Amino acid sequence: MSLKSISTKRTAALIFAGAALSVPAPAVFPDNPTNDYKAVGMIGNVTGKTFKQNGCGVAIAPTWVVGVAHVGGNVFVEEKTVYPIIKKITIKLKDGESPDLALYQLAKPVPYQAEFLNRPLKTAEIKNGAEISIVGYGNTATLRGDGKGWDPAKGSEGVRRVATNRIDLAEEDRYNIGTAASPKWKTSDAIAYDLDKPGDDSFSSLGGGATSKEGGMGAKDSGGGWFINDNGKPKLVAVGASVGLLKGAMTSPYRYGGIGFGVYLWSYRDWIGKTAGLK
C-alpha cells in the first residue's frame, strides 16, 4: 500500500522548513528523559576529543542506521558509545525529487536495534489519530508565558527524550535542504502531527486533541525515531524530518498548531531492505 492510498484527515497548504537547517527550533519537548528506545542515537562529528551533534538516527540492524539525508556526520552514538560511520547512502531517483532519507553503514555493530512496523498504516490509524512516540536528543523547550506554545531551552541537547502526539495527516512533505541560490529539493512520503494545547482544541491545526505527554520535535531531532504501539510493542514507523506551520496562522511552528513531519518508512521499505541487506 502506498501513502497515496491512505485516506488523510485534512489537506492543508503548508510551508515547511528542514528541522535541522533553517528554522530556529527546540527539540523533543516537553522535558521527559527516557531510558527506553535505546536504538535511537545521535549522528554528528568527532574532531579530536570533541563531539558535535548534527541530528539523530535509528539503528535498524547491527551495522545500519536509518535517518534523513540532510543530516551527516562521521559517527553514530548509541548509549554513549561511539560507532564510526563508514558510508552514507541516499536514494537517487531517475525521475522526480528524492526523499529526505538516508542509511548509514557503521564500522562495528551496535547492541540495540529498533523493530520496523512490518505493515502499512491502517486507514483507521490515520483517521482516528493513532498515538506515536517521538524520540530524539536535541534541545528541549519550556512553556511560553502567554500560554500559546513553547520556547527553546538552549544548551539542553544530548539527552534522549520522548514526547507523544497523534498521526493527524498523511501527505507528501517537500522542502529545500540546500540554499536559495543552490536549491536541493526533497519530497518525501510523510506522516504529520500538530501541537495541540491540552484542554483547548481551538489552537489545533489538524485536529486530534492533545495526548498525555503532548509535544514535538525540532532542531537536532531530524532523523529521530517515531514509534507506534503495535500489539504492545513500539515499532518504528517514521524518522523525524521537518517542521512547519499553516500559512498566516502563526509565527512559529513551536507554538500550538505547529506541525511536524516524519518520513514514512513503509513507502521506502524495498530500498531500505535491499541496501541494508535486511530480510
Same domain for 239 and 227: yes
Tell which wins on pLDDT, 84 or 151.
84
Q: Where are the beta strands (DSSP E) in the chain?
A: 14-18, 40-47, 50-61, 64-67, 75-78, 81-90, 102-106, 131-136, 141-143, 150-152, 161-166, 169-176, 185-194, 225-230, 233-246, 259-264
Q: Any idea which of 17-26, 34-43, 79-88, 234-243 has the lowest mean pLDDT? A: 17-26
Q: What are phi and psi of 17, to 5 degrees?
A: -150, 135
Query: HSE of 153 in the Cβ direction (CA atoms, 13 Å)?
Result: 19
Cell numbers standing for residue 50: 570533541
Q: How far apart are CA 40 and CA 58, in angstroms?
A: 4
When divided into structural domains, the chain yields a total of 2
pTM of the model: 0.88
Cell numbers standing for residue 70: 540532510
Same domain for 242 and 147: yes
Same domain for 162 and 46: no
Cell numbers standing for residue 256: 500550538
pLDDT band at 247 (very low <50, low <70, confident <90, very high): low
With a CB cutoff of 8 Å and minimum separation 6, the contacts of 82 are 46, 51, 75, 76
Query: HSE of 146 in the Cβ direction (CA atoms, 13 Å)?
Result: 5
pLDDT band at 248 (very low <50, low <70, confident <90, very high): low
Same domain for 92 and 147: no
Same domain for 143 and 222: yes
14, 247 Cβ separation under 8 angstroms? yes
Same domain for 13 and 55: no
41, 50 Cβ separation under 8 angstroms? no
Q: Which residue carries 528541522 as its cell? A: 19
Which CATH number does the domain housing residue 92 bear? 2.40.10.10
Q: How far apart are CA 3 and CA 91, in angstroms?
A: 17
Q: How far apart are CA 238 and CA 236, in angstroms?
A: 6
Q: What is the mean pLDDT of residues 237-247?
A: 85
Same domain for 244 and 208: yes
DSSP 124-155: HHHHTT-EEEEEE-S--EEE-TTSSBEEE-TT
| Residue span of the structural domain in which 91 resides | 40-113+269-276
Same domain for 131 and 147: yes
Q: How far apart are CA 34 and CA 32, in angstroms?
A: 6
278, 61 Cβ separation under 8 angstroms? yes
Cell numbers standing for residue 14: 503548508
**What 3-state class would DSSP assign to 269?**
helix
Same domain for 124 and 105: no
pLDDT in the model for residue 32: 82
DSSP 222-239: TT-EEEEEETTEEEEEEE
Same domain for 107 and 74: yes
166, 133 Cβ separation under 8 angstroms? no
What would the pLDDT profile of 30-86 be if each residue is shown by its tens digit?
A: 778 899 999 999 999 999 989 999 999 999 999 999 999 999 999 999 999 999 999
Same domain for 148 and 124: yes
Q: What is the mean pLDDT of residues 106-126?
A: 95
Same domain for 59 and 30: no
